[in-house]
Each structure stands twice: as C-alpha cells, then as structure tokens.
Structure 1
Amino acid sequence: MKIKLYCRRALMTLLFICALYTTISSISNITLADMKVWAERVQQETNHPSENSLKKSNLEQKTMNEQTYRPKTLEEAIDFDQYETATVLATGYTAGIESTGKTSEHPQYGITFSGVKVKRDLYSTIAADPDIFPIGTILFIPNYGYGVVADIGSAIKGNSIDLYYDTVDDVYSQWGKQELDVYIVEYGDGTLTEEALKALNEAEALQVFRQQYIEQ
C-alpha cells in the first residue's frame, strides 16, 4: 500500500515538473537544449574566465584602487621634485600696521608692490627680493602652499621671503619663522595682475585642495 502511495506521489511530482517546464518553455521559448548550453557556458566561465571577464575584473579593481587612494594634499598630488629648489628664511606678515606701517584707513592698505591685493588662497601673495625672485615668481612652500611674489620690502633681502597671513595670530600660530627649501615652480617676468592671480586660484584641477588654504 505504501509503495503505491510513493509511486503515485512520484508520478504526480514528475507530471508537475513536466507541466512547469512546458509552461516556462512556451512563455520564454527556452528549451532543455538551451538550458544545457547555458549551464555548460557557466561552468566553462567558472573554470576558465574569458578575456572580457578578466578585463572587466581588472577594470573594476583599478577603479576600486583609484577610489581608495586619493591624494589629500598638494604634496601628495604633485611631484615637486621636478622643480629647482632654494633655501630661504621665511617669515610671516599681514597687511596691518605691525607689518606694513599702514592702517586700514590708508588708501594703499592691503595693496602690494605689484598692485594686486594681498590674499591667502590656493596661490597666496608673498614678498621677496625681486633680484632673487622677480615679481610674478611662483614658489611652492611646504606647509604653506603656493606663493606668488607680489610684494617687496626693505627687510626682504637675498634669500628671504615673507608669507602673507590674514591675522597676526595666524602668523604666530601657523608659521613664525622658518628656514626651509622651497620649490621654484616658475620665475616671474616682473609683473603680476589681479586677473593672472585669479586664474591661478581658480584652476579647476586644483580646486579640491583650495579650501585647505582658505580656511587655515
């Protein structure tokens, strides 16, 4: 009796499977032969990945690596070793009376020798001896950023430079006085305009780093 019951259940299950396959086949137009070919391809791809699959895998890995490593500072993003270096004594200054002798009411307050306004930005205005670094010279100063020579000063002679900061507190807390090697990115021609300085600061490729200097 039990054997007949088991046989009946097996027959019903087989009939159900056949009916299910017939339904799926009629809807999707997929046959057993198609399923066999698909299964063989899956097995083959598992054991021997195709060239396209390998390329896709390598591309995905490369993308993941690029997303994982992104330079956080200009020093990491740019190879400054390609530039000439110079050892300088760098101090900090402001536009205020303590550095320039001018008050905020003075008509030339905050105006550099080149005619541009002092600025702490991706490319900041700095002062230097024009016989060493002509106006318009671009330096990269480690731990400060890019500096564009826009100003001169009676106390700035030889390999001395003055780095602009917005406040006296910034000068003392962020810089003070340091002797270090700077990178000479480009020598100036003796001139600098607001338009040229603006173009440097708005260079699209470096905008990701700009806030690091504006918000210091």
Structure 2
Amino acid sequence: MRKTITTLAAAVTLTGIFAGGASAATYEVQKGDTLWSISQNHGTTVEQLKTWNELSSDLIFPTEQLEIDGQKNKEHYTVAPGDTLWDISKKYRVTVNELKDWNNLKSDIIHPGDSLYFQTVEHSKSETIKTNIINKKTIAAKPVQSKANANTSDNEMTVTATAYTAFCKGCSGVTATGQDLRANPDQKVIAVDPKVIPLGSKVYVEGYGTAVAGDTGGAIKGNKIDLFIPSTSDALDFGVQTVKIKILN
C-alpha cells in the first residue's frame, strides 16, 4: 500500500487506512495547490486523483478533501498462469501504469499467485465498469461494443518507445500540433510518424495510458514513438522500451 508523505507545505489527514480496508487517506487542499502538485507530492497521477475523487475537471478549491491513495473501492486479483499486466489492465479497464503504481511494481514482471490490487473505475454516468472477486473468479460488467469498434486488431502494434521532455535545451515546449507542454505538463502526448499513426489520433500506450498523437520528430520513423514525460530525469530513466499500442480512433 502506498505510504502518505507529509511535507511542511501540505497538511495531510489520514482517516483509518486500515479500518477494514474501506477507508482512505485524504488530503486537504491548500491555497495554491493544483492536481499536478498534489499528484507529485503523493506519488500518484492527475488521472488517478480525478478518478478516485470523481472530478470532471482539474478545478479544486482550498479546504476541499481529496482521496489520495485510492483505497476506496479497492479490489484484488490473484495472478493466474499466463497472465500479463497488459492482459489484466484490459480486463479491468485500467492502465498498466496504474496497476504498477497501485502495487508498487518496478517492472512488468508478475508471477502466478501474486495478489494485485486495483480500483473499480466509473467511466461515465451511463457506463460503469465494476468488478467483483468471488472465490477468485471474476465477474465483470462490460459495455456492449459497437460494430464500428468491434474489430480493433488492425489498430494494435508493437513499437519502440523513447521519451522526451519539454524543458530540454533549445526546446520550445510546443508540439507540431500546437500543444504547449510547458504550460500543460499533465497532458499525455506522443510523437509519431504520421505515415504510421495519423496526427490527432488517440492512442493507448502500454504503461503510459491514453495519449494524443500530437507531435513529430526527425528520428521518429516507422514503428517508433516518443512519449512526453514532464520530468527530465524520468524521461532519461525511461530509456528505450518495446511496448504495445492500440490506435483508438
């Protein structure tokens, strides 16, 4: 379970994290706070904070109580032989990155018998995906897939991924499609080869989440992508990885 870090600039209220697994750690919003600053202080993401607190925008107010560890609605899954984080993330409609964050995983390696914790997620008022674990069997309520989206296999591929930041020397921070990444560091953007992935496409990237194909690069040719990561050190640590992607539109 993620431990809460209290800084001099932020007051954190803990409310019964271990009380039957039903309560959660909460944070009282301070003047000047943003979802981005709170996510960085507490080792989570803006997307997770918005999901856990059912926020439809990034707007927050002083004295507002935010759940910061996602303990509410936490379920667990026992890893079966042949399971991968990619398979489990698709089954529960979460991202590989979220699974790794919730379970403090440093790599994609999992083993049969491992217990993985995850959150039930509400995607919209009319579409709620809720998963219950009963005797280690999964019963999932899934939305009916439209005919237009029924065949997505042609949109899946394996690519080589690197990472970049908007704060490198000589970088403007503005993408090929006009997105200002310095002013909006919480955006999920990837650089692509437009001949392979059209600019403006929404793309699910294993371990990164859903991003917009909003940038290009001289070295990004063929089945290669470049992930925008705000932190320079995190971008360097990412290195070169092979990931699966799915073009959503």
TM-score tier, shorter chain, comes to: 0.3 to 0.5
Greater fraction helix: 1
Whose Rg is larger?
A: 1
TM-score by length of 1: 0.44
